[in-house]
A and B are shown apart, each in its own frame.
Chain A
Amino acid sequence: MAGLVGIYTIWYRELKRFLLDRARIIGSFSQPILWLFLLGTGMGSGLAKVFSRGGGTEMFPGTGIDYLEFLYPGIIGMSILMTSIFSAISIVWDREFGFLKEVLVAPIPRYSITIGKALGGSSVSLLQGVILLLFAPLIKVNLSFLSVIKLILIMFLVSFSLTSLGIVIAARMKSMEGFQVIMNFLMMPMFFLSGAMFPLSGLPEWMEKLVKLDPLTYGIDAIRSTILGAHKIEVAGKVLFQIPTYPLSYDITIIAFFGAIMIILAVVQFNRVE
């Protein structure tokens, strides 16, 4: 009972803080939109000429999708990654500003703090993802009601595992100074290796190994195959560019497995916090 109260309260605060912070809300979806349209349009129009030798806007010949459509799920993944890790890292802020003590002396079990935080962070990330889904018509992606439901479930799973990963890191961090390091050595590589911006075909072997280690790879792949599912990608293009890279069930299994390990680690790590 106290556990449920704890989870709910921590989750509620996370959401409330997000909703009160207008700058964060605006920043949180204007940034991905900027990425999407500037990068998408720039890369799309320039590279399409190279790839398709001047014929049409299709970036990946034979697939029937252009670069903007390809990038869109990648940017959703990016923004989920950033929001999730950032939410989790706010534990360090709470520690620095002393609020963490108020939570730690409350009569709720420790695990409920961790789970509440993970659920709170993932709800914020999910909200973010849903807002980005509203832009689908602009990119000329048609989403059925069913695929929206599927996407919400997938995005939640991805958000939850990434927030848990963030908590594992934040549980031991004493100050925000480490944040730059995490940004440079964890978030950026995770993003670049995930296949958010380029198809994962024909990569050098060392890179392919890293790609497979990156949990975001499977997240973005799952989002992409659901979003582009409506397109009926032709078999030739599918094989040539590996879009999507893996079957959806494979992606989801890996994310769920990763998420389970991360939340367990997060609970264990946070239980040791003094």
Chain B
Amino acid sequence: MIIEARELVKEFNGLRAVKGVSFSVNEEEIFGFLGPNGAGKTTTINMLCTLLKPTSGTAILNGYDVIKKPNEVRRSIGLVFQDPSLDERLTAKDNLNFHALIYGIPKRERKRRIAEVLEMVELADRQNDIVRTFSGGMKRRLEIARGLLHYPKILFLDEPTLGLDPQTRSRIWEYIKDLRKKEKITIFLTTHYMDEAEVCDRIAIIDYGKIIALNTPKKLKKQIGGSVVTITTARNELAKKLLKERFSLEAIETNNSLRFEVKEGEKFIPQLVKRLGVEILSVELHLPTLDDVFLKLTGRAIREETVSKRELMRKHWRRR
């Protein structure tokens, strides 16, 4: 067990942002935190990486207690923060050099490692440019390179692809998967992209400061029987009632549509159309996703709308 969190609680002037979170992460695992905005993902990471003192509870990383041995913990971890954290007035190489110095990497090693990580994120040809002139994706890659420079045992990635375009996102995922193949490293990441969460070995779903489910993506999705059906009807209220009466199905209403789970969707749909008794406007059928799991557990979707608004902001911020 490389990370062990025990009943972590964080309060900000009375607001309980994290309400007693416990979990453990195995060595060389990719472990993900999935949750909507404000769920407490960043706050939890900040407690794990010694940036925030827990209000109560503690965590052990690489055998060191975050409260008693912060410097040993810091030496064991690499971080890519949710928000930019480069010195934009310095060059890419200067940023890496600073990191190498402050982590006490010996001079002979320094050059070799800097060249190595720059190579990995394909920024070697831009190493002498001022970071301010980089694109958002390049800055992100540089941050990942920097996080790896001191060969951490655990790499924290807080929304590593937030605000990046799809190509850059998939590039960054390539690095992360590659990294796992090549190095003995544990990766702890947070995201609210469902597809990214699928890459994790195990996922903790977090909502309002609490872990509400923790398992492999496969098993989480298995909680949902068979497949997910989404319908829109002329009268949703009535349809919901009828679904319960005639098919004993619990439907959840989101975005003017009804969503429910059935065992064999393909066979069920013809029956539904025949026997529901309310005009059906559209039907959609899919295999369960983590989004469905979240919806089932909380009754809410991880709202796409708020995500995209916030992403615009982040994008703007990254461009500065």
Write the residues of chain A forming the contact surface with B, with a CB cutoff of 8 angstroms: 1-2, 5-6, 8-10, 12-13, 16-17, 20-21, 94, 97-99, 101-109, 274
Contacts and interface: CB of A to CB of B under 8 A. Distances in A.
Given A17-B89, A20-B89, A98-B81, A107 B71 contact: yes
Contact of B49 (A6, A10, A105): A105
Interface residues of B, number: 28
Contacts of A107: 71-72, 74-75, 102-104
Interface of B: 49-53, 71-72, 74-75, 77, 79, 81, 83-90, 94, 98-99, 101-104, 146
Nearest to A94: B87
Given A2-B104, A97-B85, 20 more contacts: A12-B98, A16-B90, A16-B94, A17-B87, A17-B89, A17-B90, A20-B89, A97-B84, A97-B88, A98-B84, A98-B85, A99-B87, A101-B79, A102-B85, A102-B86, A104-B51, A105-B74, A106-B102, A107-B74, A109-B71
Contacts of A101: 51, 79, 81, 85
Contact of A105 (B51, B88, B104): B51
B102 A9 contact: yes
Nearest to B73: A107
B84 A274 contact: no
Contacts of B84: 97-98
Nearest to A6: B102
B63 to A, nearest CB: 15
Given A20-B90, A97-B88, A274-B51, A102 B75 contact: no
A159 to B, nearest CB: 22
Nearest to B53: A274
B85 to A, nearest CB: 4
Given A105-B49, A105-B50, A107-B74, A5 B85 contact: no
Most B CB contacts (10 A, CB to CB) among A5, A99, A103, A104 go to: A99
Contacts of A109: 71
Contacts of A16: 90, 94
